């Protein structure tokens, strides 16, 4: 191999020194860069990253359930409505507070018979048992919550005369539970947004998706919650409430209704009830995904995230919202 001529070696020296000086100057300039200048650069970098993320998926439509998906009941506040002392006294008497919901349902089934309510075509399930018909009528907007409370309290007094309740304390708890179920002014104080879902909604909006709310619920509560949490409801592009539509999930008609109302062709539907997800999938263009953020473990939440990635709702990799 031939040696490099000495004259070339000498010529390289000033070039090397110049490059080193330029590099040192750039380093000093970056080190002493004004804060305002750095902030501008950071904004450009963030904008580039955001743009890079949004380009990984095609804008689509996402439909969310309300109760258990977007919002949840604050159990501590619900306990305050029932009365912590009442609940503790009831439990210390050898009764299980967890059984109060079952007792409440038994009372509502009796109210169904008393009111002579017809069975609806759709059987709405809650924890593997059908909801009382008075509740489905309320969800359809056929009866107001305040009217149910009035009729319910009358029935409770009648049942008390028949010694239906295990104790006076149980009677009081069932009366108060009626307010937790049906009184919008009580319920608005109990509901809070689910943080995981709020993050998901915000990323969907950043990705260019439309987000809708579809729920079996009364309009009175939602009107109050819109005043209480405008920052959450402003994220939705529209909503369909069962009390307004006069139909309830999992009836296929309510899914068809929201599709027509908002010109939806294809959408992913997130609900915490499996029956509602299956109902959605009977309608062309809808993909039902069971999603219960407060009850699911990390493995289940990762599976939901993966389904959202596969359905082109979330980008793959670390840029997707952390659901677990």
Which CATH number covers residue 277? 3.40.50.1000
Number of independent structural domains in the chain: 2
Average confidence score pLDDT of the chain: 86
The percent of residues above 70 in pLDDT, for the chain, comes to 80
Distances (CA, A) of 250 to 117, 120, 126, 156: 20, 12, 12, 31
Instruction: Determine the average pLDDT of the residues in 178-206.
Output: 97
Does the pLDDT of residue 296 top 60, yes or no?
Answer: yes
The pLDDT of residue 139:
96
Give me Rg for the CA atoms of the chain.
29
Q: Same domain, yes or no, for 64 and 211?
A: yes
Does the pLDDT of residue 41 top 70, yes or no?
Answer: no
Q: Same domain, yes or no, for 305 and 196?
A: yes
The pLDDT of residue 55:
47
The pLDDT of residue 320:
54
Q: Which residues contact 39 (CB under 8 A, 6 or more apart)?
A: none
Which contacts of 269-273 are long-range, i.e. CB under 8 A and separated by 24 or more positions? 269/63, 269/64, 269/214, 270/62, 270/63, 270/64, 270/65, 270/69, 270/304, 271/64, 271/65, 271/69, 272/65, 272/67, 272/68, 272/69, 273/65, 273/125, 273/126, 273/249
Does the pLDDT of residue 311 top 90, yes or no?
Answer: yes
> Domain for residue 158, yes or no?
yes
First-to-final CA distance of the chain: 62
Q: Same domain, yes or no, for 203 and 305?
A: yes
Q: Same domain, yes or no, for 147 and 282?
A: no
> Domain for residue 1, yes or no?
no
Domain that holds residue 134: 75-187
What are the backbone angles phi and psi of residue 214, rounded to the nearest 5°?
Answer: -135, 115
Q: Same domain, yes or no, for 223 and 285?
A: yes
Pair 111, 151: CB distance under 8 Å: yes
Pair 248, 216: CB distance under 8 Å: yes
> Domain for residue 25, yes or no?
no
pLDDT tier at 61, thresholds 50, 70, 90 = very high
The pLDDT of residue 1:
42
Q: Same domain, yes or no, for 180 and 224?
A: no
Q: Same domain, yes or no, for 171 and 208?
A: no
Specify the range with the lowest mean pLDDT, choosing from 126-130, 181-185, 228-232.
Answer: 126-130
């Amino acid at each position: 191999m031939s040696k490099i001529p000495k004259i070339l070696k000498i010529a390289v020296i000033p070039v090397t020194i110049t490059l080193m000086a330029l590099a040192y100057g750039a380093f000093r300039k970056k080190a002493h860069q004004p804060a305002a200048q750095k902030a501008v650069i950071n904004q450009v970098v963030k904008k580039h990253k955001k743009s890079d993320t949004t380009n990984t998926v095609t804008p689509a439509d996402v439909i969310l359930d309300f109760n258990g998906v977007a919002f949840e009941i604050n159990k501590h506040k619900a306990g305050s409505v029932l009365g912590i002392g009442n609940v503790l006294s009831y439990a210390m008497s050898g009764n299980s507070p967890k059984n109060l919901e079952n007792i409440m349902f038994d009372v509502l089934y009796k109210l169904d018979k008393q009111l002579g309510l017809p069975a609806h075509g759709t059987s709405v399930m809650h924890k593997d048992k059908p909801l009382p018909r008075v509740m489905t009528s309320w969800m359809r907007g056929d009866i107001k919550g305040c009217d149910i409370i009035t009729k319910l309290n009358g029935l409770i007094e009648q049942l008390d005369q028949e010694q239906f309740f295990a104790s006076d304390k149980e009677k009081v708890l069932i009366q108060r539970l009626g307010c937790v179920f049906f009184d919008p002014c009580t319920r608005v104080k109990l509901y809070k947004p689910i943080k995981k879902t709020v993050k998901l909604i915000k990323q969907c909006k950043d990705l260019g998706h439309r987000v809708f709310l579809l729920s079996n619920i009364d309009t009175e509560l939602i009107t109050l919650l819109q005043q209480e949490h405008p920052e959450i409801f402003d994220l939705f592009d529209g909503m369909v409430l069962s009390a307004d539509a006069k139909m309830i999930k999992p009836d296929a008609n309510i899914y068809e209704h929201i599709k027509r109302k908002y010109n939806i062709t294809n959408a992913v539907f997130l609900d915490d009830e499996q029956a509602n997800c299956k109902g959605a999938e009977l309608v062309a263009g809808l993909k039902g995904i069971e999603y219960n953020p407060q009850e699911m473990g990390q493995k289940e939440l990762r599976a939901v995230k993966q389904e959202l990635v596969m359905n082109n709702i979330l980008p793959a990799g670390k840029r997707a919202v952390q659901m677990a």
